[in-house]
Amino acid sequence: MSNSIYHIAICDDDPIFLENIEQLTKSILSEKNLPCGVTCFHDSIHFLDEVMGNPKNYQLILLDILMRNLDGIKTAERIRQEKLDIPIVFISSTADFALQGYEVQAHRYLIKPINKEKLQDAILSSLRLKNEEKMILLKSGTTYKKVAFSDIPYLEIKGHVLKVYLQNSSVIPVSIKMSEAESRFPQNYFYRCHQSYMVNLAFIENISRYQITLIDGTIIPVSKSRYIETRQRLLDFLSI
C-alpha cells in the first residue's frame, strides 16, 4: 500500500489482462497527475478479505465479473452487504451482467477490450464523488434546505407541489413544477420516467414493464412511452 491520498484496487484472475488494466490505469493517473496508488489482486477471495478488512484504504474498485472461486457479482454483493459504498467499476467481456451489476450499485460497467477514455471517465468521476458532493438548495415554505443530490432517490409531483424524497424516508415539499426540477437536477443522474416522477438512476435496483424498483424496495411507475428510453438511460448510466 502506497502513501497516496487515493487508492485503486484491481481484481482479475487473468494475469495478462490484470497487467494490462494496471498499466492503463497507471497511465491515466500519470497523465492526469492524480495522487493515486494501485493494488492488483488475481484472486477474488484474497481481494475480498483485504477490502473487507481495510475498507478505508480503497476509494475505487475495478472488478472483473467472470472469475474462478467467487465471481465479480457475488464479490460485490458481499461488499455491499457490509454497507461499504466504495465505487465499483465492473469489467467484463459481455454486457449480459449489466443489470445484475446495477443491483449492487455499480458505478460503471465496462466491456473488454477496455476503452481508455471510458476507463478514464470512470476513474475521474469516482474520485469526484469523493471530493465534490453536489448539492441543491430547496425552498420549502419559508425555509431553505441544502440537500445532496446523492441523498434523493426520487421526486413526485402532486398537484402543484413537488415532493422530494430523501434516503431517510423524509419528504421535502417544494412549490415548483416538474419541468423546473428537470432543469435544476443533473440529467446524467436524474431522469423523468413518468409524467409525475423523476428518478435518481443510482437508486434503481431493477426495471420492468412498467415499473422501477428502488434499492429500498420502493416501486414507482414508468410511462409506456418512456419505458424504452428509461431502460436505455439506465444502461447509458453504466457507460456500456
Other Cβ atoms closer than 10 A to 34? 15
Domains and CATH numbers, the chain: 6-131 (3.40.50.2300), 135-233 (2.40.50.1020)
Is the pLDDT at 5 greater than 60? The verdict is no
**Exposed, middle or buried by CB within 10 Å (0-12, 13-18, 19+), for 114?**
middle
pLDDT given for residue 57 in this prediction: 86
pLDDT given for residue 101 in this prediction: 85
Confidence category of residue 3, pLDDT binned at 50, 70, 90: very low
Say if CB 28 and CB 66 are below 8 A apart: no
pTM exceeds 0.95 = no
The predicted-structure confidence for 85-138, as pLDDT tens digits, reads as follows: 899 999 999 988 988 887 898 999 999 999 999 999 999 888 765 544 578 889
Q: Can you say whether residue 69 is alpha, beta or left, with left for phi > 0 and alpha for psi between -120 and 50 degrees?
A: left
